[in-house]
Each structure stands twice: as structure tokens, then as C-alpha cells.
Chains A and B, each alone.
Chain A
Amino acid sequence: MRKSGAPSLLISLFVLCGVLLSACGGSTPSTNTNGGGSTTAPKSVTLVTDIGGLNDQSFNQSANVGYMKAQGELKFRRQVIESKSQNDYVSNLTRAAQTSDMVIGVGFLMATAMDQVAKANPTKSFALIDSCATDAKGNCDSLKNVAPLFFKEQQAGCLAGVVAGQMEKLGKAKSSKLLGNNTIAAIGGLAIPPVDHYIAGYQYCAKKVDPAVTVKVNYSQSFDNTAKCQDIANNQISTAKADVIFQVAGGCGVGALQAAKAKGVYSIGVDSDQSHVNDSVIASAIKRVDQAVYLTVKDFEAGKFSATPAPFDLTNDGVGLAGLSATVPAEVKPVVDKYIADIKSGAITVPDAVQK
């Protein structure tokens, strides 16, 4: 009927709108040159985020906090590139490498893309959260210009396990919402190393504190599907009578925190302090991606780039336990502190493999 140019123009505009909106969370390479004054210009650092946006209340956000802290102190040119899909990794990392001296990639999933880009840009330095650069087969490539930033999540998981185990040991007399079956649970998003480290530590230390405790572990196969983690937690609570639920499944796991609240039991958050979600959250096992990014950038600017940095753990505040709630019995805190001291001193080594 109508074959004029106007409709097609409008369609293109609409599609453009869609693209712009979908890109809305960012792709803001906000450049910010320093006012000058320093004699040697600081080397520039670009942050390339994973999918999910800068305000994902997870690793992107945390990485950005550390990045901004370093940028505030060292005044290098600021450039943040947000990935919209896994297909963006290579192009974003390449763009970052071509325009700055160091590139920080957020996330495990970028491992292969980073390998490719780091090889193509051997004069630039790279750092990757949660992974080494891997070749097409998934094996670690030890490149001289890539720093893998690993965390000992098992130490944070251990502290969560200490809280849960000690509460079970003290029993109903101290924590009225316990169901009395001496069972706790964890929900992982996927059985991948960063998730399993947390769960392994949780299992190990809960059992170390209270050898009689049962730890039920399930995986949701998702980091987004809130309803799914809620269902799994409901099932753990009603069928296995688990009464402390540790979520290691990101946005999906928020559903587990909600299930714990609805069923009147306790829950433990992950990665950042999640006590704001609801009052069933008695603590959170945290991983300080901000600290890792901050320390890495600082070292880089000081000329101390290392392709084999020490993992981030309790000794350098790379992991920890946050937001221990007032509902947790007073007897728990000293035990947690003892474990922190023992882990730091090396008296306890927390394993990182989940026991079946």
C-alpha cells in the first residue's frame, strides 16, 4: 500500500532507538583527562565489563568501584567499555588495548577472548578477574602480559560455613528459627570453579565446626532465574529441612534469600553484602573484586605488573565475611575470628573442591 520513504525511515529510527536503549546501560567511554601538573603522565587503564551493566550489584559494579578508586588517586584517563553480549568481548578488548596501556577484563567468560587479544597486543598489559587467559581448548595459556586475578573464595565460603555450622551446633535454644534437623544448604549457579570454591569452603568449615551437620548442595543452572532458585531453596527447606541457605547464584540466588525469608529460616548472601535484600540474610561471603582491581592498577602504575599475582584472600582483604547480623548468637563471632586468624596463619587450609 504505502511504499514511500517515510515509513522505512521511521523503522530505521525505531531500530536505532532499540539499539540505543539496549546499549543504554553504558558503552560510555567517558574520557576524563587529568588537569595536568604531574610530570609523567600516568599510564591509561581501560575497564571492560561483562554482560549485565555497570550497576549489576555484582562484579561489574565492584570492579568499577575499585577502578574509580584507583583512577581518583592516580588520575589516569578513564575509559569503561561495557559488553552487551559474549560476542562483544573480542571487539571491546581490542578497542581497549588499542587505546590504553592496561586492560582489565571482568569475568571468567572473557578468558578465551582475552587470550586472543593479548596475543595480538603483546606490548599491552592485561588483567582478568576470576580466570587465566585460555586457549580454544580451555587450557590456561601463561602469557607474559596477562595477570589472572584469582580469589580464594573458599576462605569466604568457609567463614559462611563457620557461621552456619556454629548456629547448628548451638541449636534452637540460641537461634529460634532453626528446624532442628541439623541440615544446611547451598545453591550454586553453575558448577564452575568460582562457585564451587565458595561451596567447598562452606561444606568443609561447617563440618569442621559441627561434624554432625548435613550440607545439601544443589545447582540452579542459572544466574538470573530468580524463580528457579526460589523453588530450589523452598525444596531444600521443606524436604531436607535445611535452615541456613547459602546462595552462590547471583541474581537467581536472590530468590533463595526470598524463599528463606518466606519460610522463616536463615540465609547467607554472596559476593557483596546482601543484608539489604531482606532480614533472613545473616551474613554474606564476599569477594572484593574492587580491592583486586584497585591493587592491580596501583601496582601497574608503580611499574610492578606481574603475570602471576598472588591470589586475593583474607590476608589482603580480597575475600571476607560481611554484615554479620544481630540475630546471629553472640557465641558465633569469636569462632569466626578464630578461623580468620587460623586461615591467615596457615593453620587451616581450606579445600576448593566440593565433596559429593
Chain B
Amino acid sequence: MFFPILGRVLISADFWQASLQFAALLLLPALGGLLSERSGVINLAMEGLMLIGAYVGVMMAIATHSVWLGVLGAVIAGGLLALVHAIVSINFMANQTVSGIAINLAALGLTNFLLPIQTQGQGIRALDDALRLPQLHWGPLANIPFIGPVLFQQNIIFYVAIIILVGIQFLLFRTNIGLRIRAVGEHPHAADTAGVNVRLVRYACVVSSGLLSGLAGAFLSLGIAGIFNQNMTAGQGYIALAAVIFGKYTPVGAAAACLVFGLGEALSPRLQDTGISANLLGTLPYLLTLVALVGLVGRTTAPAADGVPYEPASE
């Protein structure tokens, strides 16, 4: 009973399409978190940054009648909220974990507070199709059986996420800027001595995490769901952070981790037909993670200066 159903699920395009979509949704905040952590700033705020992006995206799209201005608003809102985390962590050297959690709580409270005001307590309607991020159809490629729906009929942000993944992998490991980011995260004093502006690099990386998480929020509300809901991110920002660590702080590794989470997320409801408890299946993404961590990934090491505020005069 179990294996025939598993087999049927694994060869269905619907399953892979959903898995990749979930993975892409996690990938954007994971890449953002990765940049922040690589530069030495712990970032737990992706959850809140995504939520604020999802909210502002929908509200801007409705207000301006343009989905693209909605996306822009989401990205900027994420960036601004991340700027708060940057100021608190970098300038004021506050505890970065606390700051991240405060931002998540603030984003949840703020959206819960604003939503009923903007909708006069009526609850938000679904967005018109014109205000949603388009699902792309890559012409004849989209019609290939199996591969077409899985790879060539995804939302536009899916492809943007892949481009950003390649871009950040290249940026971090093939460019001067990437070298600086990594140096700042590993040994800020040495980087400072070599003439790198530690704080500027960290600011840029933390704000980027906000831009990317905001984009993920827009992907969720304007792309996938077509509506905003209270707490609709439902912890995915935290899963993204887990993907960063699980992926050994590399973009490609994080992407692979996001794929594992995405597969688990799509697999668990589809296996409910086997008669296994839904509660048990709900733990599947996390069981997969444990198995992968023990079996494949091994030890992961955070950047040496991760979470340590930089004080030039302290040595």
C-alpha cells in the first residue's frame, strides 16, 4: 500500500512542481540570511521580513493597481525593516538574536494591527488576476510532459530566485566583494586592517537579507496565494535559516537544503492516503533534515565572527 502510493507521487509532475515552488520560496530568505551570517551578523528576522513584504506587497499592489509596484514596495519594506536590525546589531551592538526575534514579533503585531484597519474589518479579498505575479509558460518547453510543468510553468519569481542564487554564489566566491564579505565574517579585524569598511559591508549584507526576504514575501502573497493572511509565512523564515546552516553557509548548499525541505513539504500531505497519521507525516521535512544532516552533511561551522559585534578599538 505504501510503496505504490509513494511511487505514484514521485512520478507525478504535480508533486515536483509543488516541491520546487516551496523550495524557491525558502531559497530567497535563505540567501538573504546567508549573506547576513556570512558578513558576521546573526539574522533570525527573515520570518518577520517576509511577512512584512507579503503584507506591503499586497497593499501596494491594491493601492497602485500595479503588481510590480507591489513587489517594489515589498522589497523596500523588507529592506527598511532589516535596516533596523542592522542599526541595532552593528551600531548599537545589541544582542542579534533578541533583535531578530523582536523584529519577527513586531512584524506579526504590525500586520495584525494594520490589516483590519485597511480592510475595515472585512477581511481581505483575493487579488484580481491582473494584480498577481504571473505564472510563466515557456512556449513549447512548457508542453514537454513532466519536465514542462515542473520546470517551465513556474511563477516568475521562481526564475528570479534561481538567477539570484547563481548571482550570489558567484558574488561570494568569485569576486572581490565576496572576498570582503567573507573576510568581514571570519576575521573583521584583519579585514579592517586591510582597508575593508567592516560596518559598511555588514550593513549592505543585512539590508540585502531584507530585500530578498521582502521579495519572498511578495512571491508568497502576490504570486502563490493571491491574498494576504495573518501570519501567512507560518515559520518559513525560520526554516530558511535552518537551510542556511544545513547548507553549510554556501548558496548552493542552502539551495539543496531548501529543496529537501520543499520535497518534504510537498510529500507529507500526498502520503496521507497511505493511512499513516497526518501528524506523523507532518514531521517528515524535519526527519529528512535529520537524516541528511547525519548522513550527508556532517559538521557545519558558522563564520568565525558570526554574531560578534565589531569594535575596532577592542584589541
Contacts and interface: CB of A to CB of B under 8 A. Distances in A.
B109 A21 contact: yes
Contact of A24 (B112, B121, B229): B112
B88 interface: yes
Given A1-B313, A14-B84, A222-B234, A258 B109 contact: no
Contact of A218 (B102, B105, B235, B272): B272
B244 interface: no
A226 B115 CA distance: 16
Given A7-B91, A191-B279, A226 B272 contact: no
A86 interface: no
Interface stretch (B70-78, B181-189, B218-226, B294-302): B218-226
Interface in B138-183: none
B282 A56 contact: no
A298 interface: no
B18 interface: yes
A226 B98 contact: no
B109 A25 contact: yes
B136 interface: no
A219 B269 contact: yes
B272 A225 contact: no
Nearest to B25: A227
A140 B234 CA distance: 30
A19 B106 CA distance: 7
Chain A residues touching B, range: 35 or more
Interface string A111-134: 000000000000000000000000
Contacts of A41: none
B278 A191 contact: yes
Interface string B120-131: 011101100000
Contact of B115 (A1, A19, A55): A55
Among B98, B105, B112, B122, the one with the most A-chain Cβ atoms within 10 Å of its Cβ is B112
Contact of B224 (A224, A227, A278): A227
B265 interface: yes
Interface stretch (A101-109, A154-162, A163-171, A230-238): A230-238
A234 B110 contact: no
A17 interface: yes
A218 B279 CA distance: 11
A93 interface: no
Nearest to B311: A1
B195 interface: no
Nearest to B272: A218
Contacts of B103: 18
Contact of A226 (B22, B102, B227, B282): B227
Given A226-B229, A231-B22, A258-B225, A18 B269 contact: no
A48 B12 CA distance: 47
Given A55-B116, A239-B12, A255-B225, A224 B232 contact: yes
Contacts of A21: 105-106, 109-110, 113
Contact of B278 (A19, A219, A278): A219
B125 A57 contact: no
B97 interface: no
A313 B236 CA distance: 37
A52 interface: yes
B82 to A, nearest CB: 14
Interface string A11-41: 1001101110111110000000000000000
Nearest to A53: B112
Contacts of B232: 224-227, 251
B231 interface: yes
A18 B105 contact: yes
A310 interface: no
A277 B14 contact: no
B137 interface: no
Given A56-B230, A219-B272, A234-B14, A11 B94 contact: yes
A224 B311 CA distance: 41
A61 B12 CA distance: 41
Among A57, A84, A190, A262, the one with the most B-chain Cβ atoms within 10 Å of its Cβ is A57
Contact of A221 (B230, B233, B268): B268
Contacts of A57: 123
Contacts of B108: 22
Contacts of A43: none
A240 to B, nearest CB: 9
26 contacts: A7-B91, A10-B92, A14-B84, A14-B88, A14-B99, A14-B102, A18-B106, A21-B113, A22-B108, A23-B109, A24-B109, A53-B113, A53-B230, A55-B115, A56-B112, A191-B279, A218-B278, A225-B234, A225-B235, A226-B234, A227-B21, A239-B14, A254-B229, A258-B126, A261-B126, A277-B227
Q: Which 8 A-B pairs have the closest CB atoms?
A: A55-B116, A18-B102, A22-B109, A22-B105, A221-B282, A225-B234, A219-B278, A224-B234
Interface of B: 12, 14-15, 18, 21-22, 25, 84, 88, 91-94, 98-99, 102-103, 105-106, 108-110, 112-113, 115-116, 121-123, 125-126, 220, 224-227, 229-236, 265-266, 268-270, 272, 275, 278-279, 281-282, 311-314
